Structure formats: C-alpha cells, structure tokens
Amino acid sequence: MLGFSFTYWLEGNMQTITFFQRFEADILAGKKTITLRDKSESHFEAGQIVHVANLETSHSYGQVEILSVAWVKFDDLNQLHAEQENMTLVELKTLIREIYPEIEQLYQINFKLL
Ligand SMILES: CC(=O)Nc1cc[nH]c(=O)n1
C-alpha cells in the first residue's frame, strides 16, 4: 500500500511540459523529439520524467523523459534541428521568431515519449 501511495504522491509532484496543440500528433508519433525554449523553461533536467500537455486545453496526453537540455543560438539552428522538430528550417525559424521575437539564446530540450 505504501508503494501505491508513494506512486500517487510522485504523480502529483511531476512537472508538466506544455506544447501547442498543433504539435500533439507529431509528439505522439515520435516525429518531434526536441523543443526549443527560452530561459523560463530551462529548469528541465536530463533524467526527469514529466507530463506532456496541450497549452490550449491543458489536456495531458502522456509522459516524456528529458534526455538533455543544452544551449543553442538561434543563428546556429540547422537542418538537424528542423528534422527533430519535423519541420523545414524556414518553418522552425519562423515559429521560434513568432514565439520568441527577439531571442538569440535558446534551450534545446531533447526528449522521448514514454
Ligand atoms: C507552449 C510552448 O511554448 N510551446 C512550444 C514552444 C517552442 N517550441 C515548442 O515545440 N513548443
């Protein structure tokens, strides 16, 4: 019984990373395996297991393991980043500029769906 209550406590204490709803299908299909965030979301750490949810609805649709968190400059974004985001490099840079208009220093969070 202690195990169950601890697991329940752990669930209640797990962080959540939110994505725009339009990314849900790619994440569930394993096609989107990184996300580029600003400093406000640089607190995630490799090894963490976190809930994944839609920003718009708060609907949680799974859990991901954080594999790595590393700095990347906007100007250094390349084709590999685009492929890991399941989009073209132009689409990726446009998206990032829409979300973070002035940003130069990003945090690349690599994750895998569990
Ligand atoms: C909600 C939110 O910030 N979503 C983002 C931001 C950057 N990349 C991404 O995949 N999702």
Residue 80, pLDDT score: 98
In this structure, the number of other CB atoms found within 10 A of the CB of residue 60 comes to 13
Residue 107 CA, ligand 1 centroid: distance in Å: 11
CATH code, 55? 2.30.130.30
What is the rounded distance in angstroms from the CA atom of residue 16 to the CA atom of residue 58? 10
pLDDT of residue 68: 98
* Calpha distance 92→86 (Å, rounded): 9
Mean pLDDT in residue range 73-97: 98
- pLDDT surpassing 80 at residue 93: yes
Q: How far away, in angstroms, is 5 Cα from ligand 1 center? A: 33
In total, how many domains does the chain have? 1
Q: Can you give the pTM of this predicted structure?
A: 0.91
Cβ-contact 35, 57 below 8 angstroms? no
36 φ, ψ to 5°? -110, 120
Residues with CB under 6 A from ligand 1: 18-20, 23, 35-37, 55, 99
- Do residues 52 and 17 make contact, with C-beta atoms less than 8 angstroms apart? yes
| Residue 1 forms part of a structural domain | no
Average pLDDT over residues 20-27: 98
Question: Which position has the token pair 């490099």?
Answer: 89
Average pLDDT, the chain: 94
Domain holding 47, by residue range, is: 16-113
pLDDT at 77: 98
